[in-house]
Amino acid sequence: MIPSRIIETKRDGGVVGRADLEAFLDGYLRGSVPDYQMAAFLMAAYFRGMDDGEAEVLVRAMLDSGAVLDLSGLDGPRVDKHSTGGVGDKVSLALAPLAAAAGLYVPMMSGRGLAHTTGTLDKLEAFPGFRTELSLGEFKDVLARVGCAMMGQTAEIAPLDRRLYALRDVTATVPVIPLIAASIMSKKLAEDLTGLVLDVKVGSGAFVPAEERALSLASTMVEIGEARGLPTVALLTAMDRPLGLAVGNALETAEAVACLRSGGPPDLRELVLAEATEMLRAGFPGTSEAEARLSAENTLDGGHALERLARLVEAQGGDPTVIDEPRRFATAPERAEVRAEQDGTVLAVDPLPLGQAVATLGGGRRRLGEPIHLGVGFQLAVAPGDRVRTGDLLGTVHALDGAGSALGSGVLRRAVRVGEGVPDLRPLLSHRVSAGGVTRY
């Protein structure tokens, strides 16, 4: 295997043979292929794409590079969900305890904030003391006791993906569908699941904004899962506006808790219930959609999911009493209100600048491992379609200082567009992709 030949083949639009690609990836993992050659290959893949065979080699190499959990000793179905990431997406925080309380085991490995999106691990750390870095043994123990466990990708799980992901992040080569699909699926396949639900975001706040490409990403991931015996379903969900009204780590955690109290914004509740329904159908084959939905609703509205969240927080070293006192979540010292300057309808709430601003305000990392401020962000007061009058509150900026408040206010004012007309919005849930094909909601 000669690395420059492999790069050349991809650069010229060719397909790299299985043995060559395997050797190239193995060389990267072992250090004989340096970062600069892998970066050149990734950029060639960005422009030329990769075919299904190459993607399959990639998944296998990522998976085989690390440990695979053995959860076969658990006495129930093991189902996880993974989102491709969006602005205000706090679904996992409510969904994992909900699915566990409804009878599933949920071994959830999540990520930190990435680019303009906040991460589940950071949101969990809004519970004082919550430990997201567990050994695999601790993870399994919490999972067995509580029914769900949530942690980051350890060094043992798919180390090839970890290294490639870090390189893609700094070489502008993240948005390559086979690379994203292989990266996500290698981690999910390592969780030893019996079912998987994917939330693929579509719209301007998503990593893959265009519907056609999001559908292709969804189908690729479903094919990878099914080819390895993991029943996989993907839902395409709207990311042309933020999900819910809170954007920013601790604000989102508080909103997820409100959802588990049967409150919070209706779109968040709907997505949590829809994804819980899919997880329950995956875990208990033969259950009808209506039965699964009813079970999810009863678990949520009966308070069982909230109680399960408290157990999870406690089991992972956090302080569960915060759940009953959301004011104790991290806060930022400065607040600035942004009010409507005209009467009208909220035509759009642009997710991307809001997500980017959370990072600028101190809620995201510029370098790996950098500490972040969990309290900064935006608490929106309106969603697209709402009528407002001059002077009505559009949202509140939570910032560290006056400069942050000013910056955030400007971003919020531009992101919330008020005028006359009807918002042109994607449906919250638009497509369902499974082994049986693509159906529209």
Angstrom distance (rounded) from CA 398 to CA 330: 11
Q: Give the residue with the Cβ less far from ligand URA, 105 or 165.
A: 165
Work out whether 208 is an interface residue with ligand URA (CB under 6 A): no
> Which among 378, 337, 342, 338 is positioned nearest to 360, based on CA atoms?
378
- The one-character DSSP state at 78 is B
Q: Is residue 183 annotated as part of the catalytic site, yes or no?
A: yes
Residue 25 vs 179, nearer CB to ligand URA = 179
Residues 346-365 contacting ligand URA, CB under 6 A:
none
Which burial class, exposed, middle or buried, applies to 236 when counting CB atoms under 10 A from its CB (0-12, 13-18, 19+)?
Answer: buried
Q: Which is nearer to ligand URA, 165 or 284 (CB)?
A: 165
For the bound state, the minimum distance from the C-beta of residue 91 to ligand URA, rounded and expressed in Å, comes to 15
Active-site residue, 64 included: no
Closest contact distance (angstroms) between CB of 148 and ligand URA is: 19
**Which of these segments, 100-108, 172-180, 335-343, 401-409, binds ligand URA (CB under 6 A)?**
172-180
Query: Which one of 116, 187, 308, 373 is the catalytic residue?
Result: 187
Q: Helix or strand or coil: residue 267?
A: helix
Stretch that binds ligand URA, among 58-66, 179-187, 218-226, 411-419 (CB under 6 A): 179-187
Contact letters for ligand URA, residues 103-142 (x by CB under 6 A): --------x-------------------------------
Per 3-state DSSP, what percentage of the chain is helix, strand, and coil (rounded to 5)? 45, 15, 35
By C-beta, is 233 or 257 nearer to ligand URA? 233
Q: Is 373 a catalytic residue?
A: no
Q: Which residues have CB under 8 Å from 121's CB, separation 6+? A: 110, 111, 112, 132, 150, 151, 152
Q: Which stretch binds ligand URA (CB under 6 A): 94-102, 177-185, 314-322, 368-376?
A: 177-185
- Of 45 and 330, the one with the shorter C-beta distance to ligand URA is 45
Among 86, 428, 99, 26, smallest CA distance to 266 is for 428
Instruction: Give all strands (DSSP E) within 89-147, no chain letters.
Output: 106-110
HSE, CB side, 13 Å, CA atoms: give it for residue 277: 16
Q: Which stretch binds ligand URA (CB under 6 A): 13-21, 41-49, 176-184, 393-401?
A: 176-184
Q: Which CB contacts under 8 angstroms, 24+ apart, belong to 322-326?
A: 322/126, 322/127, 322/128, 323/127, 323/257, 326/254, 326/257, 326/258
Is residue 183 a contact point for ligand URA (CB under 6 A)? yes
Determine whether 26 is an active site residue.
no
Residue 184 touching ligand URA (CB under 6 A) = yes
Catalytic residue status for 261: no
User: Is residue 180 near ligand URA by the rule CB under 6 A?
Assistant: yes
Residue number of the CB atom closest to ligand URA? 183
Minimum distance from CB of 108 to ligand URA (Å)? 13
Distance CA 215, CA 227 (A): 18
- For the chain, first and last CA: distance in Å? 47
With a CB cutoff of 8 Å and minimum separation 6, the contacts of 292 are 276, 277, 278, 280, 281, 284
- Residues that bind ligand URA (rule: CB under 6 A) add up to a total of 9
Active-site option among 122, 161, 267, 350? 161
DSSP codes joined into one string, 305-325: HHHHHHHHHHHTT--GGGGG-
| Active site positions, annotated | 82, 161, 168, 183, 187
Residues of this chain that bind ligand URA (CB under 6 A): 84-85, 111, 165, 174, 179-180, 183-184
